């Protein structure tokens, strides 16, 4: 009778050691050796000061910056420790109300802009943290950013085009613009 119990306890101890210690240490070691930057959060540094992660959107609200997708994280926007979608379905009145408020804000900030408002400027991504916007969302904001910075719109449009990243491997996803990288490039233009 004790033989099966002893075998079960031994198997439990060995599997705990393998899957709870050996495997995590091996994966962490490989990640640090092969993909150190990504394994440590893809941090962006300016003058050796960590300012942000490339993987998490940032809360830009000043007219002189390109705005990213809305954040769905609560209670603090773009909270990397609280990655989540809004969980509001397309028939939920709360989603409709939130989108209408965002549309009103965009229309107020972009008076006279006749372009259609891109969906990614009024809806959060699945993670609620996406740092990317579509090229259309970036182009929609060009007149506001150019005016706020006193820069020719063509220069800002050219900068947006330079920051468009094509589909991954040419087939996965859609073209994107990393809002933080674009804003950093704008600040460097001066």
pLDDT digits (tens, 9 = 90+) for 60-105: 889 999 999 988 887 778 877 777 777 788 898 988 998 999 999 9
* Cα–Cα dist 169/22, whole Å: 34
Among candidate residues 92, 144, 102, the one with its CA nearest the CA of residue 123: 102
Phi, psi for residue 175 in degrees, rounded to 5: -60, 145
And the tokens for 173? Answer: 């996803």
Q: Which residues contact 112 (CB under 8 A, 6 or more apart)?
A: 143
- pLDDT at residue 136 in the model: 96
Phi, psi for residue 95 in degrees, rounded to 5: -65, -45
Measured CA to CA in angstroms, residue 94 lies from 90, 98, 101 at distances of: 9, 6, 11
Instruction: Domain ranges for the chain, please list them.
Output: 2-36, 55-189
Show the CA angle centred on residue 169, arms to residues 180 and 138, nearest 5°.
Answer: 30
- At 127, the pLDDT band (50, 70, 90 cuts) reads confident
Out of 18-22, 54-58, 167-171, pick the least confident.
Answer: 54-58
pLDDT digits (tens, 9 = 90+) for 135-187: 999 999 999 999 999 999 999 999 999 999 999 898 998 999 999 999 999 98
* Cα–Cα dist 52/45, whole Å: 7
And the tokens for 8? Answer: 């079960």
Specify the 3-state DSSP secondary structure of 188.
Answer: helix
- Whether 118 shows a pLDDT value over 90: the answer reads yes
Provide the Cα torsion 68, 158, 185, 151; round to 10°.
-90
């Amino acid at each position: 009778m004790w033989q099966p119990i002893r075998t079960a306890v031994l198997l439990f101890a060995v599997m705990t050691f393998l899957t709870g210690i050996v495997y995590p240490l091996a994966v962490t070691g490989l990640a640090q050796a092969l993909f150190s930057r990504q394994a440590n959060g893809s941090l962006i540094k300016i003058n050796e000061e960590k300012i942000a992660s490339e993987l998490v959107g940032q809360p830009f609200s000043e007219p002189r910056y390109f705005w990213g997708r809305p954040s769905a994280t609560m209670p603090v926007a773009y909270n990397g420790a609280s990655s989540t979608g809004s969980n509001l379905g397309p028939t939920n009145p709360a989603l409709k109300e939130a989108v209408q408020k965002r549309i009103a804000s965009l229309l107020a900030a972009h008076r006279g802009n006749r372009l259609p408002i891109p969906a990614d400027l009024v809806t959060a991504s699945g993670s609620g943290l996406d740092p990317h916007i579509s090229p259309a969302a970036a182009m929609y904001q060009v007149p506001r950013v150019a005016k706020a910075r006193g820069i020719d719109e063509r220069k800002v449009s050219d900068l947006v085009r330079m920051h468009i990243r094509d589909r991954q491997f040419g087939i996965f996803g859609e073209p994107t613009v990393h809002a933080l990288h674009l804003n950093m490039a704008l600040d460097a233009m001066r």
